[in-house]
Amino acid sequence: MSSTVGRYAPSPSGRMHLGNLMCCLLAWLSAKSKGGQVLLRIEDLDTQRCPRSYADAIVDDLAWLGLAADGPTPPVYQSDRSEIYQRYFDELSRRGLVYPCFCSRSQLHAASAPHRSDGQVIYAGTCRGLTPAEIAERSKTRAPAWRVQVPDEVIAFEDGHMGHYEENLARDCGDFFLRRADGVFAYQLAVVVDDALMGVDEVVRGSDLLSSTPRQLWLYRELGLTPPPETAAVVKRVIHTTADFDYAKNLRFTPGAVEAAVKALHAGAFIVTDTNMALAGITKPGLKKLNGEAICYMADPAVAEAAKQAGTTRAVAAMHRAAREHPGAILAIGNAPTALLTIAEEMEAGLRPALVIGVPVGFVNVVESKEVLFAACERYGVPAIAAMGRKGGSNVAAAICNALIYSATEMLDPSARGWNG
């Protein structure tokens, strides 16, 4: 069994009908049968067609039916996420994969246009080679939609119900829309970004969307949104702890960091934190299974005295002590940038921790300290996990530790930890 994250993602163009209910019920049953959870996302990109009143009615109907989602609260509304989609659109554009399309609907659906056996239009690439001058001239009379250029590549996958399915993107699909002429982002981009950032790893939906899957899998890959299997448990744990999907992009791992941490935990490595809050959040039953121990020196009188004598902070003094007493520990830093800088200095002097978790939160020296720490870890071959940017905190440090402990003890499935609801 696995800690599955499913989702129900209706488009509220009207009241819920039996087809909607069937899809929701199957998604809910599939995830719950694996000890997982179901998230709710409202796919209301076209606000003219999908008023918020219908979305509210769907939420109420699901609660009445006993199929309420496990989160987030409130649900994710795609109409509120245009800035997020724009970032990923810009990334594809920066790489030269996006181009404007001025074709009218009648041109696209003309009898001479390539069509699939199911009637779908295969875009012929009419606007792909337009020159800047041609684009400028056509823009005078018509706002363009925007397409992404796909490769001549076969994308294959195994569907849980339909079995093997594959498409050649260039031959069977063609360059597809990322944004409409009116500025509304296309379903294909939005659903990929949202599923990735929400940590969704199981999708139950109608067979009419089977042919969308290859292009979505390709977008996942091109946007770097598919987490390597070994890091997925950590990313999910942090997102579930914080309800912040940005961590899917912000968390950075040195190669093999999770594997190295699990190996260290099996060998009885200590976990040293920089706050008592992080210490309190680390699972004690999981550590007990590993005969492990987590400690924090911040409240130790000897550390306070050492900091006073050296004219420095307790975080600095605590890391110096950890380096002396537990040189092979997992160092979990969720608060003090100075702790990260001290660890980097200790590594210069020869310290080689089993893992450094660098996730302080705030403004002063936070971003810089993470970059210095991560660069030092890469230079000296020390495994590291860091939340790049300003986000983080003691709860994030504890969440990462717990994901590693649960991985080491095969307790990632909530039922293995006594959760039977």
Q: What are phi and psi for residue 267, nearest 5 degrees? A: -85, 0
Question: What confidence tier does 198 reach under pLDDT thresholds 50, 70, 90?
Answer: confident
Same-domain pairing of 144 and 265: no
Same-domain pairing of 140 and 192: yes
Q: Which CATH number characterizes residue 264's domain? A: 3.40.50.10230
Same-domain pairing of 109 and 218: yes
Same-domain pairing of 210 and 113: yes
Residue where a domain terminates, one of 196, 222, 248: 222
Per annotation, catalytic residue among 17, 161, 164, 240:
240
Same-domain pairing of 290 and 192: no
Q: Which CATH number characterizes residue 18's domain? A: 3.40.50.620
Buried-exposed string 264-298: b where 16+ CB fall within 10 A, e elsewhere: bbeeebbbbbbbebbbebbbeebbebbebebebbb
Q: Which two tokens stand for residue 190?
A: 């939005």
Residue where a domain terminates, one of 28, 52, 77: 77
**pLDDT of amino acid 113:** 47
Same-domain pairing of 105 and 173: yes
Structural domains of the chain, count? 3
pTM: 0.58
pLDDT at residue 2 is higher than 70 = no
**pLDDT of amino acid 224:** 78
pLDDT tens digits, one per residue of 129-177? 999 999 999 999 999 999 999 999 988 887 888 888 899 999 998 999 9
Same-domain pairing of 72 and 87: no
Q: What distance in Å separates the CA atoms of residue 4 and residue 271, rounded to the nearest whole number?
A: 28
Domain that holds residue 380: 229-417
Same-domain pairing of 214 and 98: yes
Catalytic site includes residue 161: no
Same-domain pairing of 38 and 115: no
Name, in order, each residue with C-beta under 8 angstroms of 410's C-beta and a sequence gap of 6 or more: 416
Same-domain pairing of 243 and 390: yes
